[in-house]
Amino acid sequence: MEQLATNMCFGGEHRRYRHRSDVLYCDMEFAVFLPPVALGSGARQVPVLYWLSGLTCTDQNFMQKAGAQKLAAELGMAIVCPDTSPRGLDLPGEDDSYDFGSGAGFYLNATREPWSRHYRMYDYVVTELPSLLERELPVTDQRGVSGHSMGGHGALICALKNPGRYRSVSAFAPIANPSECPWGQKAFSGYLGGDREQWAEWDATLLIPGAKERLPLLVDQGTSDQFLEEQLAPDALADACEKAHHPIELRMHRGYDHSYFFIASFIDDHLRHHGRALGLV
């Protein structure tokens, strides 16, 4: 881990790192916020919220715009923000569009060439990055996972596919049923091919019926989100949860859009949701 930057923030530290990923076969950058109790002479290990960002984002968007550090510092919670895809691989078409390739890894493991060697963001965020951080930084293996849009999709599937690995899960405006929306269909076709049975392995709405753990879902959605009708499908997720008796709190917020203004408005609710599950509240 090469430390790229450090900023003091609410008595804690925001840090950026670069490391060589053995899963993605490239260098990756990520950000970490460490609360005050994880620093200094009396430092102790703290639980972690993994935040997965949306299309076009890097590790920096959430850390700079969401306003999460103040409450995280008070709770004693670390926050980890990975990037959203591998970068700079010179794969054909990787930089041609905002919703596929660079900045659009979709938190799955690609099976189709030329993406299958590098685009394995699921293995990266679920296994490789936590293992690295739990070895190198003062963080425990008590984890929550959250995210926005594509990252909300990522948070949901990471929790649903890994019973016992996360203590809590939440999402802002997730791509909840990607098999049935343009963003998801483009990504799944490109990374996985045309077999819709493979797609179902990466679709939260389709994973809910067979989930082996009924971890409560907190989902926030703005009613003025420009992507709500065509891309996000929170009602499909809620319907699947109702049929499977999977606990979900879907909160619709009048007038809010898809931006970080929306996330900043409700991030404290999510931090407390995770804090309760992680024993911090």
Which candidate, 143, 145, 141, places its Cα nearest to that of 158? 145
Give the strand pairing for 78-82 and 12-21.
unpaired
Reported as type and span, the H/E element at residue 87 is none
Burial class of residue 45 (count of CB atoms within 10 Å of its CB; 0-12, 13-18, 19+): middle
- Asked if residue 121 lies in contact with residue 107, where contact means CB atoms within 8 angstroms, the answer is yes
Q: Which two tokens stand for residue 28?
A: 């990756």
Task: State the catalytic residue, choosing from 14, 148, 153, 258.
Answer: 258
Task: State the catalytic residue, choosing from 59, 83, 203, 225.
Answer: 225
Q: Is there a catalytic annotation at residue 22? A: no
Q: Is there a catalytic annotation at residue 245? A: no
Q: How far apart are CA 229 and CA 211, in angstroms?
A: 26
Q: Which two tokens stand for residue 166?
A: 């996360």
Task: State the catalytic residue, choosing from 21, 149, 168, 170.
Answer: 149
> What separation in angstroms does the CA of 24 have from each of 107, 120, 175, 249?
12, 6, 24, 34
Question: Before 114, cis peptide (omega within 30)?
Answer: yes
Q: Is there a catalytic annotation at residue 225? A: yes
Q: How far apart are CA 235 and CA 278, in angstroms?
A: 28
The residues assigned a catalytic role are 149, 225, 258
